[in-house]
Amino acid sequence: MNLLEIKNLHADVGGKEILQGLDLTVKAGEVHAIMGPNGSGKSTLSYVLAGKPGYEVTQGSVRYEGKDLLELAPDERAAKGIFLAFQYPLEIPGVATMTFLRTALNAQKKRRGEAELSTPEFLRLVREKAGGLGIDQDMLKRAVNVGFSGGEKKRNEILQMALLEPKLCVLDETDSGLDIDALKIVAEGVNKLRSKERAIIVITHYQRLLNHIVPDIVHVMAKGKIVRSGGPELAQELEACGYAALETEAA
Amino acid sequence: MNAEVRPIRTAAEQALAADYQSAKKRLPGGPAFARLREQALAAFVEGGLPHRRIEEWKYTDLRTLLREAAPLADPPDKATFARAKKFDPLPGVDVRRVTLINGSFVGELSDLVQPEAGLTILPLSRALAEGHALASRIGRLLPPYYDATLALNTAFVADGIVIGLAAGSKLARPIHVRHLFTGAAAAAAYARTLVVVGEGAIATVIESFEGPDGVAYQANTTAEMQLGDKAWLEYVRVQAEGDAAIHLATVLADIGAQAKLHTCSLTVGAAVSRQSVFLRCTGAGSETRLSGATLLRRKQHADTTLYVDHMTQGCSSREMFKSALDDESRGVFQGKIVVRPGAQKTDAKMMSAALLLGDAAEADNKPELEIYADDVVCGHGATAGALDENLLFYLRARGIPRKEAEALLIRAFIGEAMEAVPHEALREALLARAADWLAAREHAA
B391 and A90 within 8 Å at the Cβ level: the answer is yes
Interface of B with A (CB under 8 A): 389-391, 393-402, 404-405, 408-409, 411-413, 415-416
B399 and A104 within 8 Å at the Cβ level: the answer is yes
Interface of A with B (CB under 8 A): 50-53, 73-75, 77-79, 83-84, 86, 89-90, 92-95, 99-100, 103-105, 107-108, 111, 143, 160, 164
* pLDDT for res B84: 83
On chain A, the residues whose CB falls within 8 A of the CB of B411 are 94-95
DSSP for B210-264, written as a single string = E--TT---EEEEEEEEEE-TT-EEEEEEEEE--TT-EEEEEEEEEE-TT-EEEEE
pTM of the model: 0.92
Q: Rounded to an integer, what distance in angstroms lies between the CA atom of residue B212 and that of residue B181?
A: 7
CA proximity to B264, closest of B384, B429, B137, B379: B429
The Cα of A143 is separated from the nearest Cα of chain B by a number of Å equal to 10
What average pLDDT does this structure show over A116-143?
Answer: 92
The Cα of A83 is separated from the nearest Cα of chain B by a number of Å equal to 7
Cross-strand partners of B379? B349
Residue B289 is classified by DSSP as E
What average pLDDT does this structure show over A81-109?
Answer: 96
Strand runs labelled E in A192-231:
199-204, 217-222, 225-230
Residue B179's Cα: distance from chain center in Å? 12
User: Measured between CB atoms, which of B397, B412, B416 is closest to A74?
Assistant: B397
Q: How open is the CA angle A80-A84-A85, to the nearest 5 degrees?
A: 140
Q: Rounded to an integer, what distance in angstroms lies between the CA atom of residue A31 and that of residue A212?
A: 12
User: Measured between CB atoms, which of A75, A93, A104 is closest to B402?
Assistant: A75
On chain B, the residues whose CB falls within 8 A of the CB of A94 are 411-413, 415-416
A94 and B413 within 8 Å at the Cβ level: the answer is yes
A78 and B393 within 8 Å at the Cβ level: the answer is no
CA distances from B262 to B17, B152, B164, B195, B249 (A): 36, 27, 18, 14, 18
* pLDDT for res B222: 98
- The one-letter amino acid code at A218 reads V
Question: Which residue in A has a C-alpha nearest to residue B395's C-alpha?
Answer: A104
Burial class (CB in 10 A: 0-12, 13-18, 19+), B111: middle
* pLDDT for res B1: 46
User: Measured between CB atoms, which of A53, A105, A107 is closest to B389?
Assistant: A53
* Helices B31-47 and B11-23: angle between axes, nearest 10 degrees: 170
User: Measured between CB atoms, which of B391, B400, B411 is closest to A75?
Assistant: B400
List of long-range contacts for B368-372, beta carbons under 8 Å, 24+ apart: B368/B334, B368/B335, B368/B336, B368/B337, B369/B336, B369/B337, B369/B339, B370/B336, B370/B337, B370/B338, B370/B339, B371/B337, B371/B338, B371/B339, B372/B338, B372/B339, B372/B340, B372/B341, B372/B343
For chain A, percent of residues with pLDDT exceeding 70: 97
H or E element, residue B266: strand B260-267
Between A and B, how many residue pairs show a Cβ–Cβ distance under 8 A?
77
* pLDDT for res B75: 83
- Give A220-247 pLDDT, tens digit per residue: 999 999 999 999 988 888 888 887 766 5
On chain B, the residues whose CB falls within 8 A of the CB of A83 are 397
On chain A, the residues whose CB falls within 8 A of the CB of B405 are 75
What average pLDDT does this structure show over A171-198?
Answer: 91
Q: Rounded to an integer, what distance in angstroms lies between the CA atom of residue B5 and that of residue B47?
A: 8
User: Measured between CB atoms, which of A78, A94, A143 is closest to B398?
Assistant: A78
Question: Which residue in B has a C-alpha nearest to residue A159's C-alpha?
Answer: B398
- pLDDT-derived band of residue A181, with 50, 70 and 90 as boundaries? confident
- The one-letter amino acid code at B159 reads D
B409 and A108 within 8 Å at the Cβ level: the answer is no
* pLDDT for res B82: 81
* pLDDT for res B5: 55
First to last CA, chain A: 34
The Cα of B400 is separated from the nearest Cα of chain A by a number of Å equal to 5
B399 and A84 within 8 Å at the Cβ level: the answer is no
CA proximity to B281, closest of B273, B290, B272: B290
On chain B, the residues whose CB falls within 8 A of the CB of A77 are 397
- pLDDT tens for chain B, 445 residues long, are 455 555 668 999 999 999 999 999 999 999 999 999 999 999 999 999 999 999 999 999 999 999 889 999 988 888 888 878 888 889 999 999 999 999 999 999 999 999 999 999 999 999 999 999 999 999 999 999 999 999 999 999 999 999 999 999 999 999 999 999 999 999 999 999 999 999 999 999 999 999 999 999 999 999 999 999 999 999 999 999 999 999 999 999 999 999 999 999 999 999 999 999 999 999 999 999 999 999 999 999 999 999 999 999 999 999 999 999 999 999 999 999 999 999 999 999 999 999 999 999 999 999 999 999 999 999 999 999 999 999 999 999 999 999 999 999 999 999 999 998 999 999 999 999 999 999 999 887 6
Taking all residues of chain A, what is their mean pLDDT, rounded to a whole number? Answer: 93
- The one-letter amino acid code at A178 reads L
Phi, psi of A106 (to 5 degrees): -70, -35
CA distances from B235 to B207, B357, B362 (A): 8, 29, 28
On chain A, the residues whose CB falls within 8 A of the CB of B416 are 94
- Going by C-beta distance under 8 Å and a sequence separation of 6 or more, which residues neighbour residue A229? A217, A218, A219, A220
CA proximity to B145, closest of B340, B342, B381, B336: B336
- Give A2-17 pLDDT, tens digit per residue: 999 999 999 999 999 9
A95 and B393 within 8 Å at the Cβ level: the answer is no
A100 and B405 within 8 Å at the Cβ level: the answer is no
On chain B, the residues whose CB falls within 8 A of the CB of A93 are 412
- pLDDT of residue A251 exceeding 50, the answer is no
- The one-letter amino acid code at A229 reads S
Instruction: Give chain B's radius of gyration (CA, Å).
Output: 21
On chain B, the residues whose CB falls within 8 A of the CB of A53 are 389, 393
User: Measured between CB atoms, which of A75, A93, A160 is closest to B412?
Assistant: A93
